[in-house]
Structure 1
Amino acid sequence: MSVLRPNKPDSTPCVGICSHNVGGEVCKGCGRTVEEVCDWNRYTSEEKIEVKRVCQIRLLQFKPA
């Protein structure tokens, strides 16, 4: 969920805890790759919604079972 526009389905999933600067391939805050973060503003609304869906799956992998 976005901190900026939480009610918009295509809003950024950024939660303000970026972990890319410590060498991670996937941000542990929002679940996006470096490429997805850089390209976010070029994506269509549909692409943003799909990236957010994939991010939710990625973030589940970081949570302990």
Structure 2
Amino acid sequence: METPCVNVCLLDSESGLCAGCGRTLEEIANWSAMSDAERRAVMAVLPARLADLKTAESRPT
């Protein structure tokens, strides 16, 4: 089964997304129970989520 996990498991407190793969905690927990179509749908949105996380990290606080 394909997984986006890159073994960097750190949840971003603001977005609730994993900083490594971009998934939500719910998506991570349910990954093995998801259908192939559901996993593909999640995989399709991960690049944008990760880009948003990087943009948020680079903003001054």
Could you say which TM-score interval applies, normalised by the shorter chain? 0.7 to 0.9
Greater than 2 Å deviation, 4+ residue runs: none
RMSD: 2.0
Gaps of 5+ in 2: none
How many residue pairs end up in the alignment? 55
Question: How far apart are the structure 1 equivalents of 2:8 and 2:31?
Answer: 17
Question: How far apart are the structure 2 equivalents of 1:27 and 1:63?
Answer: 12
TM-score of the aligned structures, taking structure 1 as reference length:
0.72
Q: Which of the pair is proportionally richer in helix?
A: 2
Matched residue type, 1:38:
A
